[in-house]
């Protein structure tokens, strides 16, 4: 990958117009969403999408989410359904991605879907993301703006640490509020939870009025990006630790003595918002990371999912 100077942009209207122009020219722009920073490129431009894979070093079988400004914009690309409508009306804009069948003549590059006949779509809630999508007026393919397999970015500095010199610009608008990637629900068939995320699955089930099956590692019906080792810091990660070993730094949860606490009051929403920043910070210490137990409920399901992947053996 050739080195290029990465421009730092702000959330001011002039900078958002610049970012939209870069997207139109087929360049890549990292931008904030309420979940994590995304690495955006025009989803209709195969060269731009190829550049996303190359900047991230991402396996090309792993498809991307198309970000759009509104439900009406999503309907241009996917076959809509009652379930899609119910979930979109309730949770868009927000941290929810829907996987739906592609429409004929959708115009999306096949590199976005990695050859599948479905598309993952999301309307993000972050004001700057929405301003960019509205100004660009087209679908933006955007994975998390980190090198493939590494910790997701929740600040522009995290993006800089991983991708500086590999992308045209980063739009900096502070830390992301939710801090975990979107929840992905497959609706091409019976509703299925493809990835737990920033919208708790109980809220989705309550909205649909039915339980949704969870995707399990190895299922044929999968989010292809759900590789076991992911979100990996350089340091090793050990989970459910009450007493850390001598050389370990402890990432705490709740009322515990630790090096860094995800939420001293045991608030899962606060813990989710702090998770990736905390992993970035503790990784910089160069010491092995131990993590306190985190309850398997609500957002704790998504937090534990990310932590298990961070702790998984590498290189698979
Ligand atoms: O919050 C988020 O979702 C962030 C922000 C930037 O929007 N994006 C994000 O993208 O997390 P990424 O690329 O890191 O994760 C996308 C996930 C992958 O696991 C991928 O396999 C799955 O979505 N996915 C994409 N298209 C799919 C499809 N057609 N069917 C099933 N899974 C799909
Ligand atoms: Mg990612």
Angle at 277 between CA 142 and CA 158, to 5 degrees: 50
The C-alpha atoms of residue 272 and residue 203 are separated, in whole angstroms, by 17
pLDDT tens across 250-277, in order? 999 999 999 999 999 999 999 999 999 9
What's the confidence (pLDDT) of residue 4? 73
Contact 152 CB / ligand 1 (< 6 Å): no
Residue nearest to atom 13 of ligand 1 (CA): 143
Report whether 49 contacts 55 (CB < 8 A).
no
- For domain 237-311, the CATH architecture is 3-Layer(aba) Sandwich (3.40)
Kindly give the distance from the C-alpha atom of residue 59 to the centroid of ligand 2, in angstroms, as a whole number.
12
146 lines ligand 1 (CB under 6 A): no
Helical (H) or strand (E) element with 161: helix 156-163
For residue 38, give the ligand nearest its CA: 1
pLDDT for 48-80, tens place per residue? Answer: 999 999 999 987 778 999 999 999 999 999 999
Equal CATH topology for 7-214 and 237-311:
no
pLDDT of residue 230: 75
Q: Could you tell me the distance, in angstroms and rounded to a whole number, from the CA of residue 133 to the centre of ligand 2? A: 20
Q: Is the pLDDT of residue 227 over 80?
A: no
| Average confidence score pLDDT of the chain | 93
Q: For residue 6, report the distance from its CA to the centre of ligand 1, in Å.
A: 24
9 phi and psi angles, rounded to 5 deg: -115, 160
- Considering the entire predicted model, what is its pTM? 0.92
Average pLDDT of the residues in 202-210: 96
Per-residue confidence at 249, pLDDT binned at 50, 70, 90?
very high
Q: In which band, very low, low, confident or very high, does the pLDDT at 215 lie, cut at 50, 70 and 90?
A: low
Q: What is the CATH number of domain 7-214?
A: 3.90.870.10
Q: Which residue's C-alpha comes closest to atom 18 of ligand 1?
A: 225
Domain edges within the chain: 7-214, 237-311
Strands 249-252 and 169-171: unpaired
Q: Are strands 96-101 and 183-186 parallel, antiparallel or unpaired?
A: parallel
Q: Tell how far the Cα of 179 is from the centroid of ligand 1, in angstroms.
A: 15
């Amino acid at each position: 990958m050739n080195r290029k100077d990465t421009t730092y942009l702000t959330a001011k209207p002039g900078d958002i117009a610049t970012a939209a122009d870069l997207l139109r020219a087929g360049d890549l722009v990292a931008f904030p969403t309420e979940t994590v920073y995304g690495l955006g490129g025009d989803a209709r431009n195969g060269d731009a999408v190829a550049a996303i894979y190359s900047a991230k070093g991402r396996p090309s079988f792993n498809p991307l989410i198309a970000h759009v400004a509104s439900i009406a914009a999503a309907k241009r690309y996917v076959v809509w359904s009652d379930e899609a409508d119910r979930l979109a009306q309730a949770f868009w804009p927000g941290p929810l991605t829907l996987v739906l069948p592609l429409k004929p003549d959708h115009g999306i590059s096949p590199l976005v879907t990695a050859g599948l006949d479905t598309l993952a779509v999301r309307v993000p809630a972050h004001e700057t993301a929405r301003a960019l999508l509205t100004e660009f007026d087209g679908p933006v393919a955007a994975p998390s703006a980190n090198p493939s397999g590494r910790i997701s970015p929740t600040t522009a500095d995290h993006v800089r640490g991983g991708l500086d010199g590999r992308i045209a610009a980063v739009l900096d608008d502070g830390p992301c509020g939710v801090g975990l990637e979107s929840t992905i629900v497959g609706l091409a068939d019976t509703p299925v939870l493809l990835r737990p995320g920033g919208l708790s699955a109980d809220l989705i089930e309550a909205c649909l009025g039915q339980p949704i099956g969870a995707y399990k590692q190895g299922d044929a019906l999968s989010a292809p990006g759900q590789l076991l080792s992911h979100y990996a810091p350089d340091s090793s990660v050990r989970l459910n630790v009450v007493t850390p070993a001598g050389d370990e730094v402890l990432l705490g949860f709740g009322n515990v003595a630790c090096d860094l606490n995800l939420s001293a009051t045991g608030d899962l929403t606060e813990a989710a918002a702090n998770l990736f920043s905390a992993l970035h910070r503790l990784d910089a210490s160069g010491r092995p990371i131990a993590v306190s137990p985190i309850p398997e409920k609500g957002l704790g399901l998504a937090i534990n999912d990310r932590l298990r992947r961070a702790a998984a053996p590498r290189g698979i």
